[in-house]
A and B are shown apart, each in its own frame.
Chain A
Amino acid sequence: MKNKHLIISFLLLFLSFMLVACTDEKTGEKETNKENETAGETEKAPDKEIYPFDHSEKYTITGMTFRFGDPPPLSSPGLDMINERFNVDYKPEIIPQGDYVEKSSAIVASGSMPDLVGFQAGDTRFYQWAEDGAFLPLDDYLSHYATLGKIPDYIYNSFKVNGKIYGIPRYSQPFPLTPIIRKDWLDKLGLEVPTNYEELEEIAIAFTKEDPDGNGKADTYGVAIGENINPSFNMGTYWDFNAWYHQNDNGDFIPGIISNGRKDLIQFFANLYKEGAMTKDFAVLDWASTNNEFYSGKAGIFVGGVSGMSQEYFEGLLSINPDAELVAIPPFEAPDKSKGFTMGSGNSGILALNAKLAEDEGKIYRALELVDFGKTYFPAEKKNPQNADFDFYLGKEGTGYNMENGLPVQVPTFSSEGLSPSTYFLDNREQVPEDAAINYADSYTLPELKEMTVTLQEMFESNQMYIDPSHGVLSPTNQEKGTDLMQFLINEQSKMIAGQRPVSDWDALVEEYLAKGGEAIIKETNEGIKAKGYTEREWK
């Protein structure tokens, strides 16, 4: 009998532990937020004006962010250089991108949110936590800094919560990835660069059936494409699944993924699939394999961008097809006479400051100084050892980098051995000013790649670009269900391409989407768009 009581009481005890464990995550966050709120409220008026760049006091500054490559070591010459220059004890925690969401959530839930917190673009936690008061409003500080102060308001607008700026954008160039084509194959078959989807379809089929590489084998095809119908091969905003361009009967914007433009595009792919003119097993091909289809000389149509292209891939293609020449396909004129691609959101990540910093203004200034320096833009003529800041940033000539043909080339171990301070800045992507005249081809050494980059840049600069009204607009339903809904649509549309579901089912699919939450997403997003004051479609 006694034993039974014991067991029951233990069980109860355990259950209560369980409950605590389950709710811990929430309370952990809430508690820190409470502290933050009180800290925020007791913002004492500084008794004396602090000079933002005063380095007399030493601060410990912690931070965390994601990295696509390998994180640098925890102690290294590069880190020492930062500590010395800014008089800080800087402790950045750099986490592999694939695990960032989980690990950063655990760190924050355990009550140790660092001073600087990085987010990937579109991470909704940034907005939720800002809403909960976990971050510091930055409006009063940004103007002191050479780089942060120059970022245009319309970009900061995406990181405002309740009218205050909480996030610093990580730069991303505004030009999207757009379709490119094998010019040498076109020439061989006597074809022209396409100007509409009918021509593109003909070309893709010709690439499949007319032996464009002239090796006598049927080993080529048209469009290289992988899982999630990626790349999407939209030849303009009208067909862009990601842009809010089309409007429904009430004049509300709708997401491109359910628009008629997208429907035409899916039909186009379905035709190609029937003809074998696109990647057969596209539904299960990851990004690297999709690249491989194109850069191994199998497919003739893919996408490219003005930056971030891989020279290695390109060299691989040239080793197989020495004559390979890639050119950009200019945007097609849409049925509504619009022409042009969609402009990027202007950010590839977000950095926020912990609200606890409000207790010490000096520390805010120092932390922002670090952030600002990491984002400094060096024009081409200043990327050399004569520029002390640049020399510091890459870890001194001869140690962190070497000059080759007038271009700085980082030593292979600059990050793995932490030789260069640049690798420790949480946001180390240079913030290119609006008016900077960049020649994107400068960053490559391979002549063929330079040529392709030039064609892309000329194409972008000679065409208008659409400004997507949905950037920086928050829809709670979208945060909750958006990703799943998008995945659902993409899966169904993949079936349509492969002929497992007729394209004539399109309207039924759209209805399904609207019923599952799409309706609410459209309503909320349009409220946000109106609140931004965006009414007419804007092109730039």
Chain B
Amino acid sequence: MFKSSGGERVMEIVNNILLLLITVTMLFPFLYIFSVSFSSISDVLNSDFLLWPKDWVTDAYTYILGSDQFIRSLWVTVYVTVVGTFVNLVFTSTMAYSLTRNIIGQRLILFLVLFTLLFSAGMIPTYIIVKETGLLNSLWALIIPVAISPFNLIIMTQFFKGIPEELTEAAVIDGANDIQIFSKIILPLSKPALAAFGLFYAVGHWNSYFSGVLYLNDPAKWPIQVILRQIVIVNEPNAALGGHAAMVEALPPPETVQMAAILLATLPILIVYPFLQKHFAKGVMLGSVKG
């Protein structure tokens, strides 16, 4: 270890203060949501700003957890996230690995993947495909159309390319076939990548909302984000569109309920992160090729 100079120390202090400020700005909205959700409605109405509940009230939570719909949609989202992320990782990793091997038409396939990255078909053609494949009103409509993200696929391909050839060569000499190489050598070495992409995919599934509205007609199958939006977003009369809007067609629930809903819908996916985080830090090449 070197002795750090004065300038370095100043730098470190400034750095820490900045990082602390950024952290506070990130945590602040959560704290606000948390406080409002545990406050009474009159407290929220009467104070401009709440950073800590004056008195703890759990009405908002009893209200939300008392409705079947919220809990049911939470399970739907958990299901879609777990199954969907598994499907994502299986398809992305197998395809990415295939693309690192010398297969016929490899470059063409990569080109097509890149193409979809740049040009998407648009909502209506995608809707038609989902409809014609009979996926409408099925949870698979939220999983299959987004099974492989081209962006993640390309990054994963690059990641696999970074794994030294010698490892696979050694395995081939030991008589391993492709599947064995993939499952016994490549995947274990790719834990950090899988964890990272798993997290991306999972958060994506968790937060996806529009496909739920678009492909599912049955409110019982809606993911949590759709329900959340129904709870939080007020249907605004648009003054620019004119017309005498009714006061409020359907009243939004009070702010405390909205905040409690946001918290309940966000918490589960936040909890996943620490469990995956330990995989990110590990070195990729740990215990393979000694250089």
CB distance from A158 to the nearest CB of B (A): 12
B42 touches A305 (CB 8 A): no
For chain B, residues 92 to 131, give those with C-beta under 8 angstroms from any C-beta of chain A: 107-108, 111-112, 115, 119, 121-125, 127-128, 131
The listed residue (B230, B242, B247, B249) touching A486 by CB distance below 8 A is: B242
Which B residues are CB-close (under 8 A) to A68?
Answer: 235, 249-250
CB distance from B43 to the nearest CB of A (A): 12
A110 to B, closest residue via Cβ? B128
Q: Which of B82-90, B139-147, B156-164, B209-217 contacts A (4 or more CB under 8 A)?
A: B209-217
For chain A, residues 290 to 323, give those with C-beta under 8 angstroms from any C-beta of chain B: 291-292, 296, 304-305, 307-310, 312-313, 316, 319-320
CB distance from A418 to the nearest CB of B (A): 10
Asked if B188 is at the interface (CB within 8 A of a chain A CB), the reply is no
Asked if B272 is at the interface (CB within 8 A of a chain A CB), the reply is no
B245 touches A177 (CB 8 A): yes
B127 touches A109 (CB 8 A): yes
Which B residues are CB-close (under 8 A) to A25?
Answer: 122, 124-125
**Given A99-B213, A288-B248, A320 and B46 contact (CB-CB distance below 8 Å):** yes
The listed residue (A70, A105, A172, A487) touching B230 by CB distance below 8 A is: A70
B213 touches A74 (CB 8 A): no
A7 touches B247 (CB 8 A): no
**Given A72-B219, A296-B45, A177 and B244 contact (CB-CB distance below 8 Å):** yes
B247 touches A316 (CB 8 A): no
CB distance from B160 to the nearest CB of A (A): 23
Most B C-beta atoms less than 10 A away, residue of A21, A74, A102: A21
Q: Which of A227-235, A264-272, A438-446 contacts B (4 or more CB under 8 A)?
A: A227-235
**Given A68-B250, A320-B45, A416-B69, A242 and B243 contact (CB-CB distance below 8 Å):** yes
For chain A, residues 490 to 508, give those with C-beta under 8 angstroms from any C-beta of chain B: 490
- What string of 1s and 0s marks CB contacts (under 8 Å) between A1-36 and chain B? 001001100100010001001101100100000000
**Given A70-B219, A228-B240, A490-B240, A308 and B131 contact (CB-CB distance below 8 Å):** no
A296 to B128, CA, bound (A): 48
Asked if B285 is at the interface (CB within 8 A of a chain A CB), the reply is no
A14 to B217, CA, bound (A): 32
- What string of 1s and 0s marks CB contacts (under 8 Å) between A347-378 and chain B? 01000000000000000000000000000000
CB distance from A79 to the nearest CB of B (A): 13
Which A residues are CB-close (under 8 A) to B229?
Answer: 96, 98
Which B residues are CB-close (under 8 A) to A6?
Answer: 108
A153 to B219, CA, bound (A): 38
B230 touches A96 (CB 8 A): yes
The listed residue (A21, A313, A490) touching B125 by CB distance below 8 A is: A21
The listed residue (B111, B124, B213) touching A110 by CB distance below 8 A is: B124
Which A residues are CB-close (under 8 A) to B244?
Answer: 172, 176-177, 305, 344-345
Asked if B252 is at the interface (CB within 8 A of a chain A CB), the reply is yes
CB distance from B226 to the nearest CB of A (A): 8
Which A residues are CB-close (under 8 A) to B210?
Answer: 99
The listed residue (B108, B218, B237) touching A230 by CB distance below 8 A is: B237
A74 touches B220 (CB 8 A): yes
Asked if B241 is at the interface (CB within 8 A of a chain A CB), the reply is yes
A106 touches B123 (CB 8 A): yes
A97 to B238, CA, bound (A): 13
Asked if B233 is at the interface (CB within 8 A of a chain A CB), the reply is yes
B252 to A, closest residue via Cβ? A288
The listed residue (B42, B69, B218, B219) touching A320 by CB distance below 8 A is: B42
For chain B, residues 194 to 227, give those with C-beta under 8 angstroms from any C-beta of chain A: 210, 213-214, 217-220, 226
Asked if B1 is at the interface (CB within 8 A of a chain A CB), the reply is no
A18 to B242, CA, bound (A): 38
CB distance from B15 to the nearest CB of A (A): 34
A483 touches B248 (CB 8 A): no
Which B residues are CB-close (under 8 A) to A106?
Answer: 123-124, 127, 214
A177 to B239, CA, bound (A): 12
**Given A296-B45, A308-B247, A74 and B218 contact (CB-CB distance below 8 Å):** yes
Which B residues are CB-close (under 8 A) to A10?
Answer: 108, 111-112
- What string of 1s and 0s marks CB contacts (under 8 Å) between A212-244 and chain B? 000000000000000111101000000000100
B108 touches A305 (CB 8 A): no
A316 touches B45 (CB 8 A): yes
A24 touches B125 (CB 8 A): yes
Which A residues are CB-close (under 8 A) to B121?
Answer: 21
**Given A21-B121, A312-B251, A96 and B213 contact (CB-CB distance below 8 Å):** yes
Asked if B41 is at the interface (CB within 8 A of a chain A CB), the reply is yes
Asked if B234 is at the interface (CB within 8 A of a chain A CB), the reply is yes
CB distance from B277 to the nearest CB of A (A): 35
**Given A10-B108, A230-B239, A110 and B127 contact (CB-CB distance below 8 Å):** yes
Which A residues are CB-close (under 8 A) to B108?
Answer: 3, 6-7, 10
Asked if A399 is at the interface (CB within 8 A of a chain B CB), the reply is no
Which B residues are CB-close (under 8 A) to A107?
Answer: 127
A97 touches B235 (CB 8 A): yes
For chain A, residues 80 to 97, give those with C-beta under 8 angstroms from any C-beta of chain B: 93, 95-97
**Given A21-B125, A105-B124, A232 and B239 contact (CB-CB distance below 8 Å):** yes
Asked if B246 is at the interface (CB within 8 A of a chain A CB), the reply is yes
Asked if B236 is at the interface (CB within 8 A of a chain A CB), the reply is yes
Which A residues are CB-close (under 8 A) to B230?
Answer: 69-70, 96
Which B residues are CB-close (under 8 A) to A105?
Answer: 124
A107 to B111, CA, bound (A): 32
Which A residues are CB-close (under 8 A) to B250?
Answer: 68-69
Asked if A149 is at the interface (CB within 8 A of a chain B CB), the reply is no
Asked if A194 is at the interface (CB within 8 A of a chain B CB), the reply is no
Which B residues are CB-close (under 8 A) to A517?
Answer: none
B124 touches A287 (CB 8 A): no
CB distance from B106 to the nearest CB of A (A): 11
B242 touches A242 (CB 8 A): yes
For chain B, residues 141 to 178, give those with C-beta under 8 angstroms from any C-beta of chain A: none
Asked if A103 is at the interface (CB within 8 A of a chain B CB), the reply is yes
Q: Which 7 A-B pairs have the closest CB atoms?
A: A68-B249, A230-B239, A228-B239, A69-B250, A68-B250, A308-B246, A176-B244
19 A-B pairs besides A93-B217, A110-B128, A308-B249 with CB distance below 8 A are A10-B108, A24-B128, A68-B249, A70-B219, A73-B220, A96-B229, A97-B249, A109-B128, A122-B241, A286-B236, A288-B234, A288-B248, A292-B45, A308-B248, A310-B251, A312-B251, A313-B251, A316-B45, A345-B244
| 6 CB-based A-B contacts, threshold 8 Å | A7-B111, A70-B69, A70-B230, A286-B234, A319-B42, A483-B241
